[in-house]
Amino acid sequence: MRVCVGTIVHHPEDARITHRQIRALLDAGHEVTFVAPFTHCNVTPQQEVRAIDVPRAVGLHRARALRAARSALRRGAKDADLLLVHDIELLLALPHKRPPTVWDIHEDTAGALEAKAYLPEGLRGVLPPLIRAMEGRAERRLHLILAEESYRDRFEGDHPVVPNHTYVPRTPPPPPGDNRIVYVGHISEARGAVEMVRLARRLKPYGIRLDLIGPADADVRPLLRDAQREGLLDWFGYVPNRHALRMAEGALAGLSLLHDVPNYRESTPTKVIEYMARGIPVVTTPLNRAASLVGRVGCGTVVPFGEVDDVVEAAAQAVLRLRQDHERRAAMGSRGYTEALNHFDWPAQAAEFVGLLERWAEAPARVAAVRAGRAVAV
């Protein structure tokens, strides 16, 4: 099977796209053409894929990337058996003549608008109904994959869920240490950037340092640079997921201080599962799924939403309690690792994901959504 995969929004080393889905396709012996912003992100494509470089869609400046994407997807899908796109923007750039097409829905696009500081206020009321209309049209014309069970309510049909699981090491990772906390993932105000910097300052007298591993929104980069110059933290910028998680191993705690915004409210932050997979106790705000998972497994601490100083103090106390009790943090790390290995290991999902695409590649290009009660098994 020849698959064309496309994104103009996500990083070419995105964990879900590249290290899970494309890796699964390649391991199954399929050919992959990858349309992505390689040059913009300073990424050298994998030798195993046919790469087509496009500009990246950033902020309000997306027209050039969309124009390039139309041409790139037309080239990439010309001889493909399946087209797999990862951005709602690419619904506007699909070739008229194309193979069966799949949209992998990573987020609640309308719900995410609240966290996009670059959007003018006037657009915030206009875009949600437009996005919902695009989703409805896509449901009638394309195959859909959902990253979360909670996304089902946005659609009439019943679409398969391919969850954001991770690779869990076969060998248990090292136990948590006592002098370093970590955050892995994209850094933004809504993901707790201000809280994490203040937490680093709060913990500095105790000899505990913060490692931030991931790219950051433009509006919080000055804050991170100033904190790094002050010696509060190390900000490593973008690091490929598999290397970032190895860097995180041995940390005292992994942070997930996401705010209570619609796009996060019913999702399980992937980073929580990734910390568990690396034996790191979790400190998370009480997003429903994250709090339920951490509480059920006993692999971390849930701190309340609130004013920045209140969240920071609660997180600091959680970290300091972990530091004082080696056996407690080791037990949390061990329980998290075992749960991740048994229930969140990506290879257990990979074959079913590939099988789903293989079945769709043989289907007609236009399909109706699967109606309720006729779920596609994934």
376 found inside a domain: no
Contact status, residue 58 vs residue 76, Cβ threshold 8 Å: no
The residue assigned the tokens 């994209």 is 186
Query: Rounded to whole angstroms, how far apart are CA atoms 184 and 164?
Result: 15
Query: Rounded to whole angstroms, how far apart are CA atoms 116 and 16?
Result: 21
Q: Are residues 123 and 188 in the same domain?
A: no
Q: Are residues 150 and 241 in the same domain?
A: no
Kindly tell me if the per-residue pLDDT of 148 is higher than 80. yes
Alpha carbons within 13 A on the beta-carbon side of 139: 20
Enter the tokens of residue 223: 């804050």
pLDDT score at 129: 76
Q: Are residues 106 and 204 in the same domain?
A: no
Query: Rounded to whole angstroms, how far apart are CA atoms 261 and 113?
Result: 10
Give the pLDDT band (50/70/90) at residue 266.
confident
Beta strands in 224-349 (DSSP E): 233-235, 253-256, 282-284, 300-302
Q: Are residues 282 and 188 in the same domain?
A: yes
48 found inside a domain: yes
Q: Are residues 338 and 352 in the same domain?
A: no
CA separation, residue 112 to residues 108, 159, 261, 262, 377 (Å): 6, 21, 8, 7, 28
Q: Are residues 282 and 357 in the same domain?
A: no
- Residues across the chain: 378
* Residue ranges making up the domain that contains 195: 180-343
Number of domains in the chain: 2
Q: Are residues 199 and 322 in the same domain?
A: yes
Query: Rounded to whole angstroms, how far apart are CA atoms 378 and 375?
Result: 9
Give the model confidence (pLDDT) of 194-250 as tens digits: 999 999 999 999 999 999 999 999 999 999 999 999 999 999 999 988 899 999 999
283 found inside a domain: yes
- With vertex at residue 191, the alpha carbon angle to CA 57 and CA 188, rounded to the nearest 5 degrees, is 45
Phi, psi values for residue 8, rounded to 5°: -120, -5
Contact status, residue 247 vs residue 219, Cβ threshold 8 Å: no
Contact status, residue 376 vs residue 356, Cβ threshold 8 Å: yes
Query: Rounded to whole angstroms, how far apart are CA atoms 334 and 280?
Result: 8
Of 64-78, 196-210, 229-243, 361-375, give the lowest mean pLDDT range: 361-375
Query: Rounded to whole angstroms, how far apart are CA atoms 218 and 118?
Result: 10
Give the model confidence (pLDDT) of 234-243 as tens digits: 999 999 888 9
CATH number at residue 232: 3.40.50.2000
Q: Are residues 19 and 132 in the same domain?
A: yes
Average pLDDT over residues 82-107: 95
